[in-house]
Structures are given as C-alpha cells and as structure tokens.
Amino acid sequence: MRITTIDYHTGGEPLRIITGGLPEIPGDSMLAKRRFMQDEMDPFRRFLMLEPRGHKDMYGAVLTGPVTADGDVGVLFMHNEGFSTMCGHGIIAMVTAGLEQQLFEVRDAQMIRIDTPAGRVTARANQDINGDIVSVTFLNVPSFVLQDSCQVSVDDLSVAVTIAFGGAFYAYVDAEPLGFELVAAESGRLIALGQRIKQAVNQQIVIRHPQGDDDLSFLYGTIFVRKAETAGHSRNVCVFAQGELDRSPTGTGVSGRAAIHFARGEIGLGEEIHVESIIGTAFTVRCVQEASVGGLPAVIPEVTGSAFISGEHSFVLGRGDPLPEGFFIP
C-alpha cells in the first residue's frame, strides 16, 4: 500500500489532500459516498489522520468525480473522529491545490463547481498579475439560524447558546462571560469546555435539519466567540470532532456567524466582516443573497481566505507495523 498526499494549510489549519492510492468510492451522491467511506473505508481515514502519521488536529480531503451534471469535482472531508459534511478551510485549500497542482480539471477558475456532502459550493480563485493565487472565495451552502440564544445546563453552569448551520451545525457561545480571551494558552480549557457544551446541547436540544436530512442532523462543534483585539470584527474558536481545535477561523463556522448577524439585523447584505482565529489568521465573510431552507430564512454566505502548500507525502505501511490504523490519545 502506498498513499500519496499533498498537504496545504489554510490560516494554519492543515488539509491533507489524498492524490493517489485510494480505491474508488461508490455512491451517486456525496452523502452516499460519505456513508460508504464511513462504513467501509474508515481504516484509511485512521491511517492518514491519526498518530503517528497524522496528529490530533489533522484534517483531510478525498477528491472524487462530480456527482452532478455540471459539477467539476466532488470532495469528502475527514478528521480525527470521522467524516464531516462541509469544510470551509478545506474548500480554500483544495481549490488552491487543485489549480496549483492540476489535481482536477476546471472549466473556469472563476466558477468552480464543487459537490460536497452538504451540497453545492461554488468557488473562485483570486489571482495576482502573475497568475499566482492569493486567496480563494467560495459561496457556501445556504446558512441559517436554528435557535437563537437558548440556555443549556453544562454541569453547574447555565450557558446561552445559539445554534446555526453553515454547512454543519454549531453551538455558538459568547466567550467573555466564561472568562476566555480566546488565546492559545487557553486551548486545553477551551477543548474541555467545548466538548462539554457540545455534549450538553446534544442532550438538551434537538438538532434537526429543516429539510429532514438525517445525515446533516447532528451537532458538529462548539464555537466560542468574542470581539477581536485587532481591527477585525471578532474572534472564533471552534472545537469539533474528538477535541480538535481549529487553527483557522472555520469557514463553515464564519458562515453560521454571518447567518446569525444577518438574522439579528446586525449586518446587511454585502457587508463584510473579518473573523480571526486563535492564532490570529483571518477569513472574510459576507452574505450575498437571501435564501430559504425548509421554510427557515437563510443566507448564502461568501467566504474568503488563503491557503499555502506545506509538503508532499507518500505514506506506506511498514511490514509488521503494529499500528496500521494509528492511535488516538484524547
């Protein structure tokens, strides 16, 4: 077995893009392909994401053919726990890599049609005069607020959470009353509390996608929010999967943020906000259009960020290696 990858990072968050060595993934929709990978190919995910080949905060992408008549490419995303439905930093990295490394064919670099498990995402590469890609902008799936400001009990704490969808469901929490500055030194405590909040929300609030799709009806993570120390609008720290802490501002997470602020009348259509991460990298997001999802008001968010290559890898399984599927230390 030999699996090749090209690794990029978007605002510090890795994306390991598999370029060779995986079998075909059957399924006539991206959700069906995702289910197949979950059921039949999870050892590949563990091999590539977990230690010793990956690490606790590794993230990966598998490119497939499109599943729609007009699609350019399909993508599945994976992390330390399983397979996600959509990933914003992943879209930015896969589009940058796709064009820089010719990983897939595109008809128009200004209109790249990507099939994700959460639905159609459209992206464009922003190039400088030399043709180098400086950033990627994508139109996300319709994003909406499921429940604004509801109280959940987290052990002895009562925490106000807002549930919104930006490709996946997140519980948004105000960091300030909880005493967090949202800096790297707090990462251990943020991970611990983020996981407890996610668990509490899962027990106390029914997360149901309004179109009734079971594969999308789950809470992906907790996002801590507070105002930015810099000129930016705010800071976002997302804890997802098994205690992964996003180094980027989280593309789907800032999409949910845009939906929340638009619903509350705090931003208008076209109004940009800059959201920064725990390490100070930023994404720009704005609502470009109103929409509706299963009767709920929604917006189409547009997210911009930059990705960079970090290396090319070829993974093998050594004869007698007792850790073929890696290991995970929480």
Partner 1 sequence: MSGAVKKTFHCIDAHTCGNPVRLVYQGAPELEGDSMLDRQQHFVAEYDWIRTALMFEPRGHAMMSGSILYPSKRDDCDIGVLFIETSGCLPMCGHGTIGTVTIAIERGLVQPRTPGCLNLETPAGKVSVTYTEEQGKVRSVRFTNVASFVHSTGLEVDCPELGGSLRFDMAYGGNFYALIEPQEIYADLSQLTAADIVRLSPLIRDRINQKYTFNHPDDDRLSHMRHVLWAGKALKPGSHARNAVFYGESAIDRSPCGTGTSSRMAQLAARGELSVGSTFVHESYIGSQFNGRVEASARVGDYPAIVPSIEGWARIYGHNVITVDPDDDPFWAGFTVT
Which residues are the active-site residues? 87
Q: Shortest gap between Cβ of 319 and partner 1 (angstroms)?
A: 6
Q: Does residue 100 bind partner 1 (CB under 8 A)?
A: no
CA distance 193 to 125: 37
The answer to whether 7 and 311 have CB atoms below 8 angstroms apart is yes
Dist CA 31 CA 75 (whole Å): 10
- Position 101 contacts partner 1 (CB under 8 A): no
> What is the C-alpha separation between 302 and 150, in angstroms, rounded?
27
Looking at residues 34 to 53 of the shown chain, list those that interact with partner 1 (rule: CB under 8 A): 51-53
CB nearer partner 1, residue 85 or residue 236: 236
3-state secondary structure (DSSP) of residue 271: coil
Q: How far apart are CA 142 and CA 55, in angstroms?
A: 32
Tokens of 132: 């180098």
Segment interacting with partner 1, rule: CB under 8 A, options 22-30, 55-63, 207-215, 250-258: 55-63
Nearest distance in Å: CB 239, partner 1: 12
Q: Which helix (H) or strand (E) holds 222?
A: strand 219-227
**Considering the rule CB under 8 A, would residue 72 count as an interface residue with partner 1?**
no
Task: Give the residue, chosen from 185, 203, 265, 295, that forms a contact with partner 1 under the rule CB under 8 A.
Answer: 185
247 binds partner 1 (CB under 8 A): yes
Instruction: State the binding string over 266-295 for partner 1 (x if CB under 8 A, else -).
Output: ------------xx-x--------------
* CA–CA separation, 285 and 253 (whole Å): 10
By CB under 8 A, name the one of 32, 38, 55, 150 that touches partner 1: 55
- As given in the structure block, the two tokens for residue 296 are 């709920």
Q: At what angle do helices 30-40 and 42-49 cross, to 10 degrees?
A: 80
Q: What sign does the dihedral 208-212-218-219 (CA atoms) show?
A: negative
Instruction: Write the binding mask 298 to 317 for partner 1: x where contact by CB under 8 A, - elsewhere.
Output: ----------xxxxxxxxxx
- Does 327 bind partner 1 (CB under 8 A)? Our answer is yes
Binding stretches for partner 1 (CB under 8 A): 7, 9, 12-14, 51-53, 55-58, 184-185, 187-188, 192, 245, 247, 278-279, 281, 308-323, 327, 329-330
